[in-house]
Amino acid sequence: MTAANIDPVVADFGELVQPHRVHRRIYTDPAIFEAEMTRVFAASWCYVGHESEIPDPGDYRTTTLGLRPVLMTRSRDGDVNVLLNRCAHRGTVLAAESSGCAKRFVCPYHGWTYTPDGQLVAIPFPSDHPVEDYSTLSLGRLATATYRGFVFATLNADPEPLDCWLGEAVEAFDIIIDRHPGGELAVMGSPQLLEFAGNWKLSWDNAADGLHATFAHHSYNTLGSTVDVETVLARDPGSTPMVSKALRNGHMVVDQRPGIPQGPWATMRDVPFREPLESALVDAGATELLDLATGSMVNLSLFPNLIFVGNQLLVVEPVAVDRTRLNLWLTSAPGAPPEIDLLRLRVDEDFVNFGTPDDLDMFERVQRGLSVPEMEWIDMSRGLPDDRATDGTIRGPITSEAPQRRYLAHYAGLMTAPAATRAR
Amino acid sequence: MTVAAADVPGPGPSGSAAADAPAAVLARYEELAELLSGMDGRPLADPDLSATAAAALAHEARLLDAGRFEDWLDGWTDDAVLWVPLSDRAHPGNDQSLLLDDHRRLAERIEWRCDPSAWGQQPPSRTTRVVGSVEAWDGPRGVVTRSTVLIDEHRHNRHQQLAAYQIHELVGDDLRRRTKILVVPALATGVRNPSFLL
Ligand code: FES
Ligand SMILES: [Fe+2]
């Protein structure tokens, strides 16, 4: 199948993304947004879902890759497929529900029928249809790879292997998974869906921003008075032993663990029904498992669309140049006592209700501010010069803007030298 | 998980009350799930009871729209639950919600709403609730009501309207809120900063 038609001259990204500042246009220009949907989202490995969401043959889930409608399915042989959710006849979106189970995907328009691995198996009334080889009319396939249950896919014509693309990010990825008993992590049914009137990269700029919590989340840090959260988040965040890391391919890590030696549960505010559930675990001798009810305190961001925060997977979905949808999926711990997941449900509501609204408001304020054409630049120089280790990783205090600089440099590379994309 | 008593660490509470506690949590969740899933098949409502409930729901809407959150908080029982699920098929113990508050977190939510540095609600949303189709029945713990509510929100330079329905459990002579379930279909497709929802 043919590659996407790429117009190479959208903008001079060497000019727009400089080491210490970036231009407002990358957040406001619709032509740049349109190019990003192919050069960033189609050409990079993107997270599409978790294997636990489609346990049985025929199970499927729909999602997007940039703006492209995508279908993740489990076929009869147990394989996971990622397909373009687009009928090979005239383009109709095949599956409209967010998830389901289907032995066959029958197009609602003229009845072409596909297997869960995308093979065309039937065209109704075929006698007057000249097609001889149905295999030329399969659903478009994406290159697909999984890392410990996490399914990634790309339309890149020649992608680097997933392991290479993850690179140093694997260390944090493993920490997040391995804390679950048996290394077993699952993703629960329906995500919280929050939209903001701003560019998708604003959520990316924020994901490893260790300075904003002191200001934007001031109300969260002081809310309630029973637990001493304030000392962690409200004192000079640059002087804490927490570490930020800017990795290859735009990935980012914020490791808060060194700043919370007493463990994450000790900093958790009193969520609804905490006491009875906590008591049950303590009585069962499982006190040490309580940390599982909170996040790993290692925030990992895999560019361009997956951010681990708390026990949630924050999937960044671009909608328009000034519109973004955040999909917040909650992970569960199937190998742990049920109280852990019951606590997780209430724990992860906490920040979404009393912290995330601040972030959403900041994103919308920034987007409005960036509409001012006479003020062109966004400063990103905090923490310069970068301290680059031999493996290329840049480590710094959590107030350093090195993660933003590095992901944007990676982004500029993708936008400057677009990779060919194709459906298989 | 079974552990010998000698291995139990820490000063945690012991005895049958603590052991039964998770069952009490699950029982409360089951009540919520049944209220939600059992609503559509209910018979014709009691007209007198519905009129009484409508006054209580209008009063609640008036307090919320006026920003009189402390007064609104006073109208809840100690075992209050406010639940905003993500769909009308959700279960509070199996599915993510937008929020599920007990009385303690409701009080924190009100504190947050009044905090001048809670940017998600500063400046605050101005809301107008239009409550309609109030139906009420006698329930095992009090009066059960279902009503529709259109929530109109203005904030900064934006305006959004969310249509929803709400289920209340109102107990005692003064019809205190024991349970409120707010079902907002738009949460299944994406809502901008929903922190004005109560
Ligand atoms: S568009 Fe799908 S069968 Fe015609
Ligand atoms: Fe934040």
- The model's pLDDT over B63-106, given as tens digits with 9 standing for 90+, comes to 999 999 999 999 999 999 999 999 999 999 999 999 999 999 99
CB contact at 8 A, A88 and A75: no
CB-nearest to B19 from A196, A283, A354 is A283
- pLDDT band of residue A202 (cuts 50, 70, 90) is very high
CATH number of the domain residue B160 falls in: 3.10.450.50
- Tell me if B112 is assigned to some domain: yes
- Between positions 138 and 197 of B, the ones with CB within 8 A of A are 156-158, 187-195
For residue A52, the tally of other CB atoms under 10 A from its CB is: 16
Question: How is residue B171 written in tokens?
Answer: 């107990």
Contact residues on chain B for A360, CB-CB shorter than 8 A: 120, 192-193
Residue A229, pLDDT above cutoff 80: no
pLDDT-derived band at A349, boundaries 50, 70, 90: very high
Say how many CA atoms lie within 13 Å of A71 toward its Cβ. Answer: 28
A33-38 mean pLDDT: 98
Mean pLDDT check: name the lowest of A49-63, A321-335, B17-31, B133-147: B17-31
- Would you place residue A268 in the very low, low, confident or very high pLDDT band (cuts 50, 70, 90)? confident
Q: Which residue has the higher pLDDT, A221 or A317?
A: A317
pLDDT band at A296 (very low <50, low <70, confident <90, very high): very high
Q: Please indicate, yes or no, if residue B194 is contained in any of the structural domains.
A: no
Rounded to an integer, what distance in angstroms lies between the CA atom of residue A12 and that of residue A57?
A: 47
Least CA distance to B193: which residue of chain A? A357
Q: What is the pLDDT of residue A132?
A: 86
Note the pLDDT of residue A232: 52
Residue A236 banded pLDDT, cuts 50, 70, 90:
confident
Is residue B198 situated within a structural domain?
Answer: no
Q: A358 in contact with B at a CB cutoff of 8 Å?
A: yes
For the CA of A88, the closest atom of ligand 1 is: 2
β-pairing, A323-332 with A186-187? antiparallel
Mean pLDDT in residue range A359-375: 97
pLDDT tens per residue across span A41-79: 999 999 999 999 999 999 999 999 999 999 999 999 999
Atom of ligand 1 nearest to the CA of A90: 1
Asked if the C-beta of A51 comes within 8 angstroms of chain B's C-beta atoms, the answer is no
CA of A360 to the centre of ligand 2 (A): 8
- What confidence category does residue B148 fall into, taking pLDDT thresholds of 50, 70 and 90? very high
3-state helix, strand, coil in chain A (%, to 5): 35, 25, 40
**pTM, full prediction:** 0.93
User: What pLDDT sits at residue B150?
Assistant: 98
Q: How far is A289 from chain B (nearest CA, A)?
A: 12
Distance between CA atoms of residues A255 and A259, nearest Å: 9
Give the residue from chain B lying closest to A272, CA to CA: B102
For residue A112 and ligand 1, the question of a CB distance below 6 A is answered with: yes
Do residues A131 and A396 lie in contact, with contact meaning Cβ atoms separated by under 8 Å?
A: no
Whether residue B10 is predicted with pLDDT greater than 50 in this model: the reply is: no
Residue B196 lies in a domain: no
Mean per-residue pLDDT for B103-132? Answer: 96
Cβ–Cβ below 8 Å for B93 and A342? yes
Q: Classify residue B53: in a domain, yes or no.
A: yes
Q: What is the dihedral of CA A203, A83, A162, A14, to 10 degrees?
A: -50
pLDDT in the model for residue B2:
34
Q: Give the gap in angstroms from C-alpha B84 to the nearest C-alpha of chain A.
A: 11
Q: Taking 70 as the threshold, does the pLDDT of residue A233 lie above it?
A: no
**Chain A residues lying within 8 Å of B85, measured CB to CB:** none
* Averaged pLDDT for residues A322-328: 98
Please report whether residue B195 resides in a domain.
Answer: no
The chain B residue lying nearest A188, using CA atoms, is B95
Residue B23 has pLDDT above 50, yes or no: yes
Which atom of ligand 1 sits closest to the CA of residue A112?
3
- Interface list for A 174-213 with B (CB within 8 A): 188-197
Does residue A109 contact residue A87 with C-beta atoms inside 8 Å?
yes
Q: How high is the mean pLDDT of chain A?
A: 94
Question: Which range marks the domain in which residue B98 is found?
Answer: 5-189
CA distances from B2 to A286, A415, B15 (A): 10, 57, 15
Residue A245 to residues A155, A206, B143, B163, Cα–Cα distance (Å):
28, 14, 56, 44
Residue A346 reports pLDDT greater than 70 = yes
Query: Whole-angstrom Cα distance, residue A329 to residue A332?
Result: 10
Average pLDDT over residues B1-10: 35
What average pLDDT does the segment A278-301 reach? 94
> How far B103 CA sits from the closest chain A CA (Å)?
8
- Tell me if the domain spanning A46-151 has CATH number 2.10.240.10: no
pLDDT at A80: 98
Mean pLDDT of B43-62: 98
d(CA A359, CA A217): 8
Q: Residue B12 — very low, low, confident or very high, per pLDDT cuts 50/70/90?
A: very low
Is residue B70 a part of any domain in this protein?
yes
Ligand 1: centre distance to CA A91 (Å): 7
pLDDT value of residue B18 = 44
Q: What is the mean pLDDT of residues A260-271?
A: 88
Torsions phi, psi of A407, nearest 5?
-65, -35
* pLDDT over threshold 60, residue A250: yes
- pLDDT at residue A271 above 60? yes
Across the interface, whether the CB atoms of B96 and A191 are under 8 A apart is answered yes
For residue A3, what pLDDT is reported? 52
Candidates A206, A354, A356: best to mutate against B (most CBs of B within 10 A) is A354
B108 domain residue, yes or no: yes
**Alpha-carbon distance values, A177 to A173, A184, B4 (Å):** 6, 7, 29
- Assess whether the C-beta atom of A87 lies below 6 angstroms from ligand 1: yes
A276 min Cα distance to partner chain B (Å): 5
Q: What is the pLDDT of residue B157?
A: 80
Q: Is A167-414 assigned to CATH 3.30.70.980?
A: no
Contact call for residues B188 and B85 (beta carbons, < 8 A): no
A170 pLDDT band, cuts 50/70/90, is very high
Domain count, chain B: 1
Alpha helices in A158-296 (DSSP H): 162-166, 169-178, 200-207, 212-216, 218-222, 230-234, 274-283
Domain map (residue ranges) of chain A:
46-151, 167-414
Q: DSSP letters of A171-186? A: HHHHHHHHTSGGG--E
Grade residue B6 by pLDDT with cuts at 50, 70 and 90.
very low
Give the model's pLDDT for residue A10.
83
